[in-house]
Amino acid sequence: MRVALFLTCVNDTLYPDTGRAVVKLLTRLGVDVDFPLGQTCCGQAHYNTGYRHETEPLARHFSDVFGEYEAVVTPSGSCAAMVRELYPRLGERARAEGRGQTLARTLAPVVPKTYELTEFLVDVLGVTDVGAHYPRKVTYHPTCHGLRALRLGDRPRRLLEAVKGLELVELPGAEECCGFGGTFALKNADVSAAMGADKVRAAESTGAQVLCAADNSCLMHIGGTTSRLRSGLRPVHIAEILASTEEEPAL
Protein backbone atom coordinates (compact mmCIF):
# COMPACT_ATOMS: atom_id res chain seq x y z
CA MET A 1 0.00 0.00 0.00
CA ARG A 2 1.31 3.42 -0.95
CA VAL A 3 0.30 6.35 1.19
CA ALA A 4 1.19 10.01 1.32
CA LEU A 5 2.40 11.43 4.59
CA PHE A 6 0.85 14.81 5.32
CA LEU A 7 3.14 15.89 8.10
CA THR A 8 1.54 19.34 8.69
CA CYS A 9 3.42 22.63 8.65
CA VAL A 10 3.93 22.68 12.42
CA ASN A 11 5.51 19.22 12.52
CA ASP A 12 7.59 19.83 9.40
CA THR A 13 9.06 23.00 10.87
CA LEU A 14 9.25 22.23 14.61
CA TYR A 15 8.86 18.48 15.14
CA PRO A 16 10.75 16.59 12.41
CA ASP A 17 11.29 13.71 14.90
CA THR A 18 7.56 12.98 14.74
CA GLY A 19 7.78 12.79 10.94
CA ARG A 20 10.76 10.43 11.07
CA ALA A 21 8.87 8.29 13.61
CA VAL A 22 5.80 8.03 11.34
CA VAL A 23 7.98 7.02 8.38
CA LYS A 24 9.81 4.43 10.49
CA LEU A 25 6.58 3.03 11.93
CA LEU A 26 4.64 2.79 8.68
CA THR A 27 7.62 1.34 6.80
CA ARG A 28 7.98 -1.31 9.52
CA LEU A 29 4.33 -2.19 8.99
CA GLY A 30 4.93 -2.69 5.28
CA VAL A 31 3.47 0.59 4.05
CA ASP A 32 5.15 2.42 1.21
CA VAL A 33 5.38 6.04 2.41
CA ASP A 34 5.73 9.02 0.16
CA PHE A 35 6.26 12.63 1.25
CA PRO A 36 5.05 14.96 -1.49
CA LEU A 37 7.34 17.98 -1.20
CA GLY A 38 4.65 20.29 -2.54
CA GLN A 39 2.70 20.01 0.71
CA THR A 40 2.36 22.93 3.10
CA CYS A 41 -0.61 23.51 5.38
CA CYS A 42 -4.26 22.46 5.61
CA GLY A 43 -5.39 26.01 6.48
CA GLN A 44 -6.80 25.25 9.90
CA ALA A 45 -5.29 28.29 11.63
CA HIS A 46 -6.74 30.56 8.94
CA TYR A 47 -10.15 28.95 9.07
CA ASN A 48 -10.46 28.88 12.84
CA THR A 49 -9.39 32.51 13.18
CA GLY A 50 -12.12 33.63 10.78
CA TYR A 51 -10.21 33.89 7.50
CA ARG A 52 -12.32 31.44 5.51
CA HIS A 53 -11.57 33.10 2.20
CA GLU A 54 -7.83 32.88 2.86
CA THR A 55 -8.28 29.19 3.68
CA GLU A 56 -9.66 28.28 0.27
CA PRO A 57 -6.38 28.54 -1.73
CA LEU A 58 -4.67 26.40 0.91
CA ALA A 59 -7.38 23.76 0.74
CA ARG A 60 -7.18 23.73 -3.06
CA HIS A 61 -3.39 23.40 -2.82
CA PHE A 62 -3.81 20.46 -0.42
CA SER A 63 -6.14 18.77 -2.89
CA ASP A 64 -3.70 19.36 -5.77
CA VAL A 65 -0.84 17.81 -3.83
CA PHE A 66 -2.67 14.83 -2.32
CA GLY A 67 -5.52 14.18 -4.74
CA GLU A 68 -3.79 11.33 -6.58
CA TYR A 69 -2.85 9.22 -3.57
CA GLU A 70 -4.68 6.15 -2.31
CA ALA A 71 -4.58 7.40 1.27
CA VAL A 72 -3.23 10.42 3.16
CA VAL A 73 -1.95 9.88 6.71
CA THR A 74 -1.30 12.67 9.17
CA PRO A 75 -0.02 12.57 12.76
CA SER A 76 -2.40 15.37 13.77
CA GLY A 77 -6.00 14.97 14.89
CA SER A 78 -6.84 18.60 14.32
CA CYS A 79 -5.41 18.75 10.78
CA ALA A 80 -7.20 15.51 9.86
CA ALA A 81 -10.42 17.02 11.26
CA MET A 82 -9.83 20.14 9.18
CA VAL A 83 -9.78 18.11 5.97
CA ARG A 84 -12.53 15.68 6.85
CA GLU A 85 -14.97 17.93 8.69
CA LEU A 86 -14.32 21.42 7.42
CA TYR A 87 -13.29 21.02 3.76
CA PRO A 88 -16.85 19.90 2.92
CA ARG A 89 -18.12 22.93 4.82
CA LEU A 90 -15.82 25.23 2.78
CA GLY A 91 -17.35 23.81 -0.39
CA GLU A 92 -20.88 24.14 0.97
CA ARG A 93 -20.37 27.78 2.00
CA ALA A 94 -18.89 28.65 -1.40
CA ARG A 95 -21.98 27.13 -3.01
CA ALA A 96 -24.26 29.09 -0.65
CA GLU A 97 -22.43 32.26 -1.71
CA GLY A 98 -23.37 31.57 -5.31
CA ARG A 99 -19.92 30.40 -6.42
CA GLY A 100 -21.12 27.05 -7.66
CA GLN A 101 -19.81 23.54 -7.00
CA THR A 102 -16.23 24.07 -8.19
CA LEU A 103 -14.60 24.27 -4.78
CA ALA A 104 -16.64 21.38 -3.38
CA ARG A 105 -15.74 19.23 -6.38
CA THR A 106 -12.04 20.13 -6.09
CA LEU A 107 -11.88 19.23 -2.41
CA ALA A 108 -14.10 16.16 -2.45
CA PRO A 109 -11.46 13.55 -3.46
CA VAL A 110 -9.19 14.10 -0.41
CA VAL A 111 -11.93 14.21 2.20
CA PRO A 112 -12.71 10.50 2.66
CA LYS A 113 -9.15 9.22 2.29
CA THR A 114 -7.40 11.48 4.80
CA TYR A 115 -6.69 9.65 8.06
CA GLU A 116 -5.25 10.56 11.41
CA LEU A 117 -2.35 8.20 12.19
CA THR A 118 -3.95 6.06 14.93
CA GLU A 119 -7.14 5.81 12.94
CA PHE A 120 -5.16 4.65 9.90
CA LEU A 121 -3.33 2.02 11.95
CA VAL A 122 -6.45 0.58 13.59
CA ASP A 123 -9.09 1.02 10.88
CA VAL A 124 -7.14 0.70 7.63
CA LEU A 125 -4.18 -1.52 8.54
CA GLY A 126 -6.18 -3.36 11.20
CA VAL A 127 -3.37 -3.49 13.78
CA THR A 128 -3.25 -2.54 17.43
CA ASP A 129 0.06 -4.21 18.30
CA VAL A 130 2.63 -2.42 16.17
CA GLY A 131 5.56 -4.23 17.77
CA ALA A 132 6.68 -1.26 19.83
CA HIS A 133 8.72 -1.26 23.05
CA TYR A 134 8.70 1.75 25.35
CA PRO A 135 9.43 1.00 29.02
CA ARG A 136 8.01 4.11 30.68
CA LYS A 137 5.01 5.24 32.69
CA VAL A 138 2.78 7.12 30.26
CA THR A 139 -0.44 9.11 30.58
CA TYR A 140 -2.54 9.88 27.51
CA HIS A 141 -4.28 13.18 26.69
CA PRO A 142 -6.97 12.70 24.03
CA THR A 143 -6.93 16.01 22.18
CA CYS A 144 -10.23 17.78 21.49
CA HIS A 145 -10.32 17.32 17.73
CA GLY A 146 -9.28 13.70 17.99
CA LEU A 147 -11.90 13.10 20.64
CA ARG A 148 -14.88 15.14 19.49
CA ALA A 149 -14.33 15.86 15.78
CA LEU A 150 -12.77 12.58 14.59
CA ARG A 151 -14.26 10.39 17.36
CA LEU A 152 -11.00 8.47 17.71
CA GLY A 153 -12.43 6.84 20.82
CA ASP A 154 -10.16 4.24 22.39
CA ARG A 155 -8.02 3.63 19.28
CA PRO A 156 -4.94 5.47 20.60
CA ARG A 157 -5.37 3.81 23.99
CA ARG A 158 -5.56 0.35 22.45
CA LEU A 159 -2.36 1.03 20.52
CA LEU A 160 -0.59 2.21 23.68
CA GLU A 161 -1.83 -0.73 25.73
CA ALA A 162 -0.20 -3.11 23.22
CA VAL A 163 3.22 -1.44 23.60
CA LYS A 164 5.63 -3.69 25.50
CA GLY A 165 6.99 -2.28 28.74
CA LEU A 166 4.63 0.66 28.69
CA GLU A 167 2.60 1.37 31.81
CA LEU A 168 -0.49 3.40 30.89
CA VAL A 169 -1.98 5.52 33.70
CA GLU A 170 -5.33 7.30 33.51
CA LEU A 171 -5.21 11.11 33.23
CA PRO A 172 -7.80 12.82 35.52
CA GLY A 173 -10.05 15.13 33.51
CA ALA A 174 -8.56 13.66 30.34
CA GLU A 175 -11.34 14.94 28.09
CA GLU A 176 -10.90 18.57 29.11
CA CYS A 177 -9.18 20.87 26.65
CA CYS A 178 -5.51 21.70 27.37
CA GLY A 179 -6.13 25.32 26.40
CA PHE A 180 -4.17 25.51 23.15
CA GLY A 181 -6.88 26.18 20.58
CA GLY A 182 -4.57 27.67 17.92
CA THR A 183 -4.73 31.45 18.01
CA PHE A 184 -6.82 31.16 21.21
CA ALA A 185 -3.49 30.63 23.01
CA LEU A 186 -2.51 34.16 21.94
CA LYS A 187 -5.86 35.93 21.94
CA ASN A 188 -6.87 34.67 25.38
CA ALA A 189 -3.45 33.93 26.79
CA ASP A 190 -4.46 34.09 30.45
CA VAL A 191 -7.31 31.60 30.21
CA SER A 192 -5.23 29.41 27.90
CA ALA A 193 -2.31 29.37 30.34
CA ALA A 194 -4.61 28.56 33.27
CA MET A 195 -6.07 25.62 31.34
CA GLY A 196 -2.57 24.42 30.43
CA ALA A 197 -1.36 24.64 34.02
CA ASP A 198 -4.37 22.61 35.23
CA LYS A 199 -3.68 19.97 32.56
CA VAL A 200 -0.04 19.71 33.62
CA ARG A 201 -1.00 19.41 37.30
CA ALA A 202 -3.48 16.65 36.48
CA ALA A 203 -0.82 14.79 34.50
CA GLU A 204 1.73 15.22 37.30
CA SER A 205 -0.73 13.73 39.79
CA THR A 206 -0.56 10.43 37.90
CA GLY A 207 3.17 10.04 38.52
CA ALA A 208 3.73 9.50 34.79
CA GLN A 209 7.08 10.31 33.20
CA VAL A 210 5.56 10.97 29.80
CA LEU A 211 2.45 12.81 28.65
CA CYS A 212 1.44 11.45 25.29
CA ALA A 213 -0.95 12.87 22.69
CA ALA A 214 -1.63 12.50 18.99
CA ASP A 215 -1.19 16.18 18.15
CA ASN A 216 2.01 18.20 18.48
CA SER A 217 0.18 21.53 18.60
CA CYS A 218 -1.40 20.59 21.92
CA LEU A 219 1.92 19.10 23.04
CA MET A 220 3.70 22.36 22.14
CA HIS A 221 1.36 24.23 24.50
CA ILE A 222 1.51 21.58 27.23
CA GLY A 223 5.28 21.19 26.79
CA GLY A 224 5.80 24.95 26.93
CA THR A 225 3.86 24.93 30.19
CA THR A 226 5.73 21.97 31.74
CA SER A 227 9.00 23.61 30.79
CA ARG A 228 8.01 26.91 32.41
CA LEU A 229 6.64 25.15 35.51
CA ARG A 230 9.86 23.10 35.65
CA SER A 231 7.85 19.91 35.66
CA GLY A 232 9.73 16.70 34.97
CA LEU A 233 6.94 15.52 32.70
CA ARG A 234 7.96 14.95 29.06
CA PRO A 235 5.50 15.63 26.23
CA VAL A 236 5.85 12.95 23.54
CA HIS A 237 3.90 12.38 20.34
CA ILE A 238 2.27 8.95 20.14
CA ALA A 239 4.06 8.23 16.83
CA GLU A 240 7.42 8.36 18.60
CA ILE A 241 6.23 5.83 21.19
CA LEU A 242 4.79 3.51 18.55
CA ALA A 243 7.96 3.76 16.44
CA SER A 244 10.19 2.87 19.37
CA THR A 245 11.51 -0.72 19.46
CA GLU A 246 13.96 -2.65 21.63
CA GLU A 247 16.57 -2.51 18.84
CA GLU A 248 15.98 1.17 18.08
CA PRO A 249 14.52 2.75 21.22
CA ALA A 250 13.18 6.30 21.24
CA LEU A 251 15.31 8.76 23.17
Partner 1 sequence: MSGTFVGMPAFAAFPEAAREAVGNRTLRGNLRHATHTIRAKRARAVAEVSDWAELREAGRRIKDHTLHHLDRYLEQLEESVTRAGGTVHWAADAAEANRIVADLVTATGESEVVKVKSMATQEIGLNEALEAAGIRAYETDLAELIVQLGKDRPSHILVPAIHRNRGEIRDIFAKEMGEWGRPAPDGLTDTPAELAEAARLHLREKFLRAKVGISGANFMVAETGTLVVVESEGNGRMCLTLPETLISVVGLEKVVPTWRDLEVFLQTLPRSATAERMNPYTSMWTGTTGEDGPRTFHLVLLDNGRTDTLADQVGRQALRCIRCSACLNVCPVYERAGGHAYGSVYPGPIGAILSPQLRGTASEIDASLPYASSLCGACYDVCPVAIDIPEVLVHLRERVVEGGPAVRAGNRVLLKPAKGHAAERAAMRAARWALAHPGALRTGQRLASRTRRLHPRTLPGPGRAWSGTRDLPPVPAEPFRDWWQRTHGTDNGEGAAK
Question: What's the min distance (Å) between Cβ of 168 and partner 1?
Answer: 23
In the bound complex, what is the minimum distance in angstroms from residue 128's beta carbon to partner 1? 26
Do residues 63 and 93 lie in contact, with contact meaning Cβ atoms separated by under 8 Å? no
Of residues 80-109, which lie at the interface with partner 1 (CB under 8 A)?
A: 89, 96
The answer to whether residue 192 forms part of the interface with partner 1 (CB under 8 A) is yes
Strands (E), the chain: 2-5, 32-34, 71-74, 114-116, 137-140, 167-169, 210-213, 234-237
Q: Using CA atoms, how far apart are residues 251 and 238, in angstroms rounded to an integer?
A: 13
Beta-carbon contacts of 135 under 8 Å, excluding residues fewer than 6 positions away, are 164, 165, 166
Q: Which of 1/194 has CB closer to partner 1?
A: 194
Q: Helix, strand, or coil here: 5?
A: strand
Among 58, 130, 208, 212, binds partner 1 (CB under 8 A): 58
Nearer to partner 1, 15 or 120 (CB): 15
CB nearer to partner 1: pick between 135 and 173: 173
Among 160, 177, 203, 213, binds partner 1 (CB under 8 A): 177
Work out how close the CB of 41 gets to partner 1 at its nearest, in angstroms, rounded to a whole number: 4
8 Å CB contact between 44 and 82: yes
179 near partner 1 (CB under 8 A): yes
- Residues numbered 6-25 forming contacts with partner 1, rule: CB under 8 A: 7, 9, 11-17, 19-20
CB 146 within 8 A of CB 219: no
Q: What are the φ and ψ backbone dihedral angles of 236, each rounded to 5 degrees? A: -135, 135
| Window 24-53: residues binding partner 1 (CB under 8 A) | 34-41, 43, 45-53
Q: How far apart are CA 26 and CA 24, in angstroms?
A: 6
Residues 132-151 that bind partner 1 (CB under 8 A): 144-145, 147-149
Task: Express the helix, strand and coil content of the chain in percent, nearest 5 each.
Answer: 50, 10, 35
Question: Under the criterion CB under 8 A, does residue 1 sit at the interface with partner 1?
Answer: no
Give yes or no for residue 206 binding partner 1 (CB under 8 A). no
- Closest to partner 1 by CB, 61 vs 136, is 61
Whether 41 and 101 have beta carbons less than 8 Å apart is answered as: no
User: Which of 76, 118, 139, 225 touches partner 1 by CB under 8 A?
Assistant: 225
